[in-house]
Chains A and B, each alone.
Chain A
Amino acid sequence: MAKDGILTCYGGMSHVTSCFSREIFLTAENMADEHARKWDRCLADTAVKTVTGLGVGIVVSFIAFKRRAWPLSFGSGLGLGMGYSNCQHDLRSPYLIHGRMVKDQ
């Protein structure tokens, strides 16, 4: 929790209030907190992924592609996209309906 709190504090500026609200309503059942946390997580994740992608791109570009620029952007884009997708999934998760297929055999 504290770790999350610190990460999100370093996170987006639009979540200052959520940071504050997190500090006050420090309960697991707090949906607003969850939302904020989600966002924090999302952003953190995205950032990490992007940076990781960038790093991999750099490495790949260094290693395989003779220090070209496109692996960096590719990797960062990759990371960003993964993050974005993750974020979206995370934010969507309450609405996702998990169905089961019932084979009628």
Chain B
Amino acid sequence: MRREQVQPACLSDFEPDRLSCLPGHVIDQILSHLPLREAVRTSVLSSKWRYKWATLPNLVFDNQCHSVASQDHSDIKNKLLRIIDHVLLLHAGAINKFKLSHRDLIGVTDIDRWSLHLTRRSVKEFVLEIWKGQRYKIPSCLFACQSLVHLELFNCWLKPPSTFQGFKNLKSLDLQHVTLAQDVFENLISSCPMLERLTLMNFDGFANLNIDAPNLQFFDIGGKFEDISFENTFQLSVVSIGLYLNFETNQNRLRGSSSNLLKFFVHLPHVRRLEVQSYFLKYLAIGAVPLKLPRPCIDLSYLSIRMNFNDSKEISTALCLLRSSPNLQELEVLARPDEQNVLIHPYCGEDEYCSCPIMQLRHVRIDGVSGTKPELDFISFLLLYSPVLERMTVKPVSSGVTELMKELLRFRRASGRAEIIYQESP
């Protein structure tokens, strides 16, 4: 715990008020280290300090914004309203960032009004988190704000007007718990040519994703969707995809269909870090899984997958990835418990492990295993074909799985330096 800073002693009567005479940029720094409320308070400190706060570039209104003396919600709401109106009215100079994240319900018309004001002030970063209530419909004026570089919305509904031309300067977009239609989403992405980072979590209103973004470098998605494809995304280097929907695999529909895995990697030649979460590996396993990708992922150095060890197609998909990633250094495999009683693709045993590649893995982590044969085969394969392995950490799903430990000790290792760490759950 941080100790209290020792306070300097109070000065004698003859020392001047040096604080107020510090250079402007130093005072700006002091004020920006304070929560906004404290910074605004300095306006009554002295006549010199009246407007020093008014050029603060970043305005953050969150739960720290006011004292929590009152528990009455409408009282808190009114206070917050007054504070934001006061600040926006008196603020001078450019507003770089505006963040509103307050747990109490805020009136829709108020946010509309503030958004309009901010677009006129050329705000660059706009963060809005609506904690309670229905999705907030983003006002049309915000869609006309061309100064935006970062837009972050939580619990909002996006329906731009027909005059929407995209955000020409937007580099980073973060949408969580949002509702928007299919065409709105596609239009939004393709009309933001500078977009480098995209986060999309828990969205509804559409199920097929087509990402067309030539400058995109970072992509993080978690939600329920049916299909995902990329176009022109050759700069994409960090990708994290979580499919939260355990879809039913219909054998008839899928027989002979093209491989999702192939389709997925066609437009991702330079991916460096990849996370395949929840049921996304199951999605990638649909179709005829190749032995190896036609073009190797030479930049891939970190891979994390959540896998159902009892599904042979998922294992084949993982192996295809491992064969196609000659420079992979870190691997994380998280076990997904098998929910179906009838295995559609039962495990074929060691036949899975044909054409094993020599891998450059240094660190491996296996989580949630219980010592079943498919799991042990996979671990054994990793140990046999990783000559530069430094550490493998195995965390069982429950403690006391001694059989697993015995097997781990027994396995042959290609790397003389490999440590195997068995992490007991507490």
Question: Is chain B found bound to chain A in the same assembly?
Answer: no
Residues of A within 8 A of B (CB): none
Residues of B within 8 A of A (CB): none
